[in-house]
Amino acid sequence: MIRFEKVTKYYKNNVGLENVSVHINKGDFVFLVGPSGAGKSTFIKLILKEIEADSGSILVNEKEVTSLSNRQIPILRRSIGIVFQDFRLLPKKTVFENVAFAMEIIHKSPRTIRRQVPQILSLVGIANKASKYPDELSAGEQQRVAIARAIVNNPTVLIADEPTGNLDPDTAWEIMKLLEQINLRGTTIVMVTHAKDIVDRMNKRVIVIDKGKIVRDNVGAYGIDVFETPSCQPEGGVFSQDVK
Amino acid sequence: MSLASIFSISAMLLILGLFFIVAVNINMATEAAKQDYETVQVYLQDEVTFEEAQVLIDSFKRIEGVSETQYLDKETALLQWKAKWGESGYLLDSLGNNPLPNSILITVSQLEAADQVVLKAGKAQGIEDVKYYKETVEKLLKITNFIQIGALIIMVFLIIVAVVVVSNTIKLTVFARSREITMMKYVGATNWFIRGPFLVEGMLIGIFSALISVGIIALTYSKISELIGQDVFIILSTPMVPVSFMTINLISIFLAVGISIGACGSIISMRRFLDT
Ligand SMILES: Nc1ncnc2c1ncn2[C@@H]1O[C@H](COP(=O)(O)OP(=O)(O)O)[C@@H](O)[C@H]1O
Ligand SMILES: [Mg+2]
């Protein structure tokens, strides 16, 4: 499903990832944790081919990402859904339009769009908000819209970058339940998070990255002890910089 | 915002149009003159009678190298022009009085003879003007060349400026919609899908500019040919290129150039955005 084989990525003066090998199976639910600057964003950007690896092999759905041409990148991204900490909804579009937008981009017919958007909205639990604008929704509802947009094209992988970072604990937990439900439908989920309580409570596979290396990879708790720095404040989010 | 682009492309197209008009008119005059360059045409003053003209003809005939001489009265001359200009011949109808003088056409077999004829005509009585096309043709060819090269250099420069202005204009729109574009890329939109609307914007800017500048040029040109068309005809013995011909040609050229500039500008404006 997602396989990194000795992947290394250096920036000018920084280590992004160094000789990372990891395998995420189809249907897995994986937490990606680690301190700021550990290489989590780098990991995700490599999956999406936003950046190029210096060496190593990256397989996503059995396809070698590192050798994809620019033309093939959109095809790769259509098989991956993404959710951000700050939702990234388009403010001038309604909930329906925000989700429909993702389908229009891959040339789905208006008929298909009219049929599938309500289905996906009811799956994420906001069927009654279709005609609302993002600023009329609570934070939790906005994240549900973002999730609907991410999964409406049936991606095999859903990447969630601190999806609960802007939510209060109860709402955060509801979103986690939703993600778990999506995972049960067969979608692989990779979630970057700093929320220790959530990781502990979910009891899923946890990959800990530090200084560009995987320092732990097992099912269980967050394991704060592996970090030298106790400060794990939420950061700006993986995609806070614009796509170059 | 896109007004700046329309303004800059229009300005560029207007200058392009100016070059085009000048070049086409000079070209036409050159072509017309070229055909007759082995002929010397001696224009006679209105007072000169047919008999006096015959005396002059005899004197020209005596020059070595003159192969043919012919008296051409003003009515025949006008008819010939009309025939020559074919469909555009009706333009000559607007001239009112026949502006052409009676003349003698002298065809030479050696070019030196032409110089002799010119020399002799200069001394003779009753002669208004001598048209000796060889020099004119050479001069016109030089001017045409010069204008073409100059125009090309200026055009390249202006096109670059226009593309930069357009790309900066569209960059503003692109930035205003950067959230949406970023999201489109994450969802897997192809670059051409993302470019689409901006490409259309650029091309619309090009089309507007083309229409505006063709309008301005057609108006100005028809005014100019109304005002000086007759003088041009008398001086160059060539009518100006008709307005309709100009407009039809310019509209296709301007649309092509305008749309290309608009499209290039928008593609360039998005290049950095669509890199990854
Ligand atoms: N575009 C970049 N240019 C230079 N260094 C970078 C760039 N992006 C990330 N880095 C560096 O690479 C390392 C890993 O960054 P990142 O993958 O963003 O970590 P995380 O998301 O875990 O906080 C950090 O030291 C960071 O400063
Ligand atoms: Mg990060």
Confidence at residue A177, expressed as pLDDT on a 0 to 100 scale: 95
| pLDDT tens-digit map of B63-94 | 887 888 888 888 888 888 777 666 666 666 77
Which two three-digit tokens encode residue A147?
Answer: 């999730």
pLDDT at B196 over 70: yes
- The alpha-carbon gap from A205 to the nearest alpha carbon of chain B, in Å, equals 26
pLDDT at B220 over 70: yes
Quick one: DSSP state of residue B101?
P
Confidence at residue A224, expressed as pLDDT on a 0 to 100 scale: 54
Confidence at residue A242, expressed as pLDDT on a 0 to 100 scale: 41
For each of the domains in chain B, give its residue range(s) and CATH number, in order of start.
2-33+137-275 (no CATH), 46-125 (3.30.70)
Domain segments of chain A as ranges: 1-79+187-229
**Long-range contacts formed by A49-54: CB under 8 A, 24+ apart:** A49/A73, A49/A76, A49/B276, A50/A243, A50/A244, A50/B276, A51/A9, A51/A16, A51/B276, A52/A9, A53/A7, A53/A8, A53/A9, A53/A17, A54/A8, A54/A9, A54/A10
Confidence at residue B232, expressed as pLDDT on a 0 to 100 scale: 67
Is residue B111 within 8 A of residue B29, CB to CB? The reply is no
From the CA of A38, give the closest atom in ligand 1: 22
Confidence at residue B121, expressed as pLDDT on a 0 to 100 scale: 80
Distance CA A76, CA B145 (A): 55
Distance of CA B154 to the CA centre of its chain: 16
Confidence at residue A228, expressed as pLDDT on a 0 to 100 scale: 44
Which two three-digit tokens encode residue A12?
Answer: 């000018």
Q: Which residues line ligand 1 (CB under 6 A)?
A: A 11-12, 14, 16, 34, 36-42, 235, 238
Confidence at residue B116, expressed as pLDDT on a 0 to 100 scale: 80
Distance CA B88, CA A87 (A): 68
| pLDDT tens-digit map of B168-183 | 888 888 888 888 888 8
Q: Work out the number of other CB atoms within 10 angstroms of the CB of residue A192.
A: 25
pLDDT in single tens digits along all 244 residues of chain A: 899 999 999 999 999 999 999 999 999 999 999 999 999 999 999 999 999 999 999 999 999 999 999 889 999 999 999 999 999 999 999 999 999 999 998 899 999 999 999 999 999 999 999 999 999 999 999 999 999 999 999 999 999 999 999 999 999 999 999 999 999 999 999 999 988 899 999 999 999 999 999 999 988 777 655 444 444 444 444 444 444 3
Confidence at residue B237, expressed as pLDDT on a 0 to 100 scale: 63
Confidence at residue B249, expressed as pLDDT on a 0 to 100 scale: 83
**B193, closest residue in chain A (CA to CA):** A105
Q: CA geometry: angle at B90 spanning B87 and B91, to 5°?
A: 110
Confidence at residue A240, expressed as pLDDT on a 0 to 100 scale: 40
Fold of A1-79+187-229: Rossmann fold (3.40.50)
Q: Could you say which of A51, A90, A239 has the minimum Cβ distance to residue B180?
A: A90
| pLDDT tens-digit map of B6-61 | 888 888 888 888 877 777 777 777 666 665 567 788 888 888 888 888 888 888 88
Residues of chain B contacting A155 with CB distance shorter than 8 Å: none
B98 touches chain A (CB under 8 A): no
If you search the block for the tokens 């095809």, which residue do you land on?
Answer: A75
Confidence at residue B172, expressed as pLDDT on a 0 to 100 scale: 84
B184 touches chain A (CB under 8 A): yes
HSE-CB at B200 with a 13 A cutoff on CA atoms is 5
Residue to test with chain A: of B175, B180, B181, B183, most A Cβ within 10 A: B183
Confidence at residue B111, expressed as pLDDT on a 0 to 100 scale: 62
Distance CA B75, CA B77 (A): 5
Name the percent of chain B lying above pLDDT 90: 7
Q: How many Å lie between the centroid of ligand 2 and the Cα of residue A81?
A: 18
ipTM of this complex prediction, to 2 decimal places:
0.83
Lowest mean pLDDT among A12-16, A142-146, B190-194, B236-240: B236-240
Confidence at residue B36, expressed as pLDDT on a 0 to 100 scale: 59
Confidence at residue A233, expressed as pLDDT on a 0 to 100 scale: 44
Query: How high is the mean pLDDT of chain B?
Result: 81
| pLDDT-based confidence at residue B136 (cuts at 50, 70, 90) | low
